[in-house]
A and B are shown apart, each in its own frame.
Chain A
Amino acid sequence: MKSITGAALWLVRLAYLAFALFPLFWLIRISLTPDDLLYSEGTTIWPSSLTLANFAYVIEESPFPVFFGNTVIVSLGTAAAVTVLAAGIGYAFSRFEFAGKRTLMVFLVITQLFPLVMVITPLYQLLAPIGLVNTRIGLIVVFTAFNLPFAAFLMHSFYEGIPRELEQAAMIDGCTRFQALIRIILPLMLPGIGATLGFVFTAAWSELLFSLMLITSETKKTFAVGLLSFVGKSGVDWGQMMAAATLALIPPAIFFTFIQKYLVGGLTAGAVKA
């Protein structure tokens, strides 16, 4: 009886694994398949020979390295800005009682209800006169605002897992609150900071519609916009397209793999207090 449930459990685990990984496996499989085999061999699980030609083309001859660089700049910029600002908001929510605290928290929750498609055009008109349209900085500003509310709650949840006595002791020893935060609390917050950085980096890396609307010049395009216009061209080359897609996948996948266990840990810490 016990071995049957054990086997059934493994079956379920493998089913989850297959569902999660098959699409990604297929992406990589096609990107490594020589063009002619794609049509002659059809959709066999593994092609009879492999090639790196698609990757070579994407890296050496296509504009994707530029798009890749732009997306790295925008995503890292956004992740850094959001994490710093969320560290401030989360700290204030966790350690202070003040007038308007509830209102502000509710305000941040409500921002999650906004259909972001609605703000695209007004935002364009607000950013254009100050020269932030068609710039990477403009994208960073916009993505920072969009990702900040959730990141603030995430950081709040991590702060709740750190005992208040720590900074109180430091303040008794003569630190100001700000010094205590920087020297005592933030080093303990590293898992939370990592989780927030990774979460926001991944989100910024994914963004498509605002980049589509706000970026017009070829040299500032992000990967999402570049890939979509590549797909839209007639006479698609499956191998090259999927090679480009595979490259787009690498940074967020690495980032996320490192932070996912902190994400669970941080939410657990917050849940215990709540």
Chain B
Amino acid sequence: MSVAADTPAATGRSPSRTRRRFAAAEAYAYLAPGIAIVALVMLVPLAVGISFSFQNYVIFRPMSRGWNGVENYLELWTDRTFWLALANTARWTFWSVAFQLGLGLGLALILNRPFPGRAVFQSLVFLPWAVPTFLSGLNWQWLFNPIVSPLPGWLTAVGVLEEPRNILSDPDLALYGPITAMIWWGIPFFAITLLAALRSIPQDLYEAASIDGASPWQSFRHITVPFLMPMITITILLRTVWVANSPDLIFVMTEGGPANSSQTLPNYVFTSAYKSMDFGYASALATVLMAMLVIYSILLLFVRGRLGQ
């Protein structure tokens, strides 16, 4: 808001400059309240959080609190759960986003062509996204439970399981439970953004292509894909970061278990902070996660820039 307060002082300048300054002041007036709250509630705690990562800070041991340099980071280096959680985070994010993208693109293509009942169909297939995340987690946790759900029986019938049992209590399979829930919940988001992108492709391009004798596949390859690419990269970027950062489904469905087999970094951060009350170590974990996501995003945007040329 300080910019707005400056403007009367600027009246002595040349008129166009004054007008520009006034426009800027007006823009800041529309922006300031929102930006201020984001900065206060996200940026300030983030900086404080990063500073925790260089401290010995366990709530139960207030007397031993103090700066300890990179000790938390060294501890992390030798922590086997950290490396396991890191590998799981990569698996969890990759499979979730890959299936959401594939199935979401398929759904967007289906919804882009008219068919009887399309409006109703669209509101029904988008419904999972309206389901609160914790509820998606509980819902799928129950679906994997052979006592109340036919799903384990069906998985046995098609040969995925040898007997109807709960995959969430199997260390080898537990992570696929939350992955399934995440795919189910996230398909609509991809479908919505990609459908919006599909609708913005000029239709006369397709007409021109078909007059020139292009096959449907060629039209898809040379018109649809290039037009969708910017939206696909930005959606992948957003979803990857959201999925990688989100502990909810895993916290609700497996709590990272059994025996850390489905532990991911955000869930490890949350349990370190919330259960062990080790804020220093939790912050170091979170800082590493954030650093990796920043590097990932820069790489993805760089690749996108290269492809765009």
Contact = CB atoms under 8 A, between A and B. Distances in A.
Interface of A: 9, 12-13, 16-17, 19-21, 23-24, 26-27, 30, 38, 43-45, 85-86, 88-89, 91-93, 95-99, 101, 104, 107-108, 110-123, 125-126, 141-142, 144-146, 148-149, 152, 177, 202, 205-206, 208-209, 212-213, 223-224, 227-228, 231, 238, 241-242, 245, 248-249, 252-253, 255-257, 260-261, 263-268, 270-272
Nearest to A205: B132
B155 interface: no
A111 B27 contact: no
Contact of B199 (A224, A245, A248, A264): A264
B42 to A, nearest CB: 5
A64 B33 CA distance: 35
Please provide the 5 A-B residue pairs with the shortest distance between their CB atoms, ordered closest to farther.
A256-B130, A267-B196, A145-B41, A118-B286, A96-B27
A104 B35 contact: yes
Given A96-B26, A115-B266, 14 more contacts: A13-B121, A27-B142, A45-B150, A89-B35, A111-B38, A112-B238, A117-B266, A121-B49, A121-B52, A148-B34, A206-B135, A257-B123, A260-B122, A264-B196
Contacts of A252: 130-132
A141 B41 contact: yes
A5 B193 CA distance: 26
B241 A118 contact: no
B31 A271 contact: no
Interface of B: 23-24, 26-28, 30-31, 33-35, 37-38, 40-46, 48-50, 52, 103, 106-107, 110, 115, 119, 121-136, 138-140, 142-143, 146-150, 153, 184, 187, 192-193, 195-197, 199-200, 231, 238, 241-242, 245, 247-248, 251-252, 265-266, 269-270, 273-274, 279, 282-283, 286-287, 289-290, 293-294, 297
B45 A20 contact: no
B250 to A, nearest CB: 11
A109 to B, nearest CB: 9
Contact of A98 (B28, B42, B135, B139): B28
30 contacts: A12-B106, A23-B128, A23-B140, A23-B143, A24-B128, A30-B142, A43-B148, A44-B150, A85-B34, A88-B34, A98-B27, A113-B241, A115-B293, A118-B269, A119-B46, A120-B274, A121-B49, A126-B48, A145-B41, A145-B42, A146-B41, A209-B270, A238-B142, A238-B147, A241-B138, A245-B138, A253-B127, A256-B126, A264-B195, A268-B199
Contact of B289 (A19, A115, A206): A115
Given A117-B266, A245-B139, A264-B195, A142 B41 contact: yes
B107 to A, nearest CB: 6
A92 B52 CA distance: 36
Contacts of A142: 41
A180 to B, nearest CB: 12
B7 to A, nearest CB: 12
B240 to A, nearest CB: 10
Contact of B42 (A91, A111, A212, A260): A111
Given A261-B122, A264-B196, A271-B196, A23 B132 contact: no
A55 B160 CA distance: 35
B127 A114 contact: no
Contacts of B286: 115, 117-118
B24 A99 contact: yes
A144 B192 CA distance: 23
Contacts of A209: 247-248, 251, 270, 274
Contact of A118 (B34, B40, B46): B46
Contact of A20 (B34, B127, B241): B127
Contacts of B119: 261
A50 to B, nearest CB: 16
A12 B266 contact: no
A9 to B, nearest CB: 7
A160 to B, nearest CB: 12
Given A16-B110, A145-B37, A245-B135, A92 B195 contact: no
A196 B35 CA distance: 17
B154 to A, nearest CB: 10
A121 B273 contact: yes
A109 B148 CA distance: 42
A258 to B, nearest CB: 9
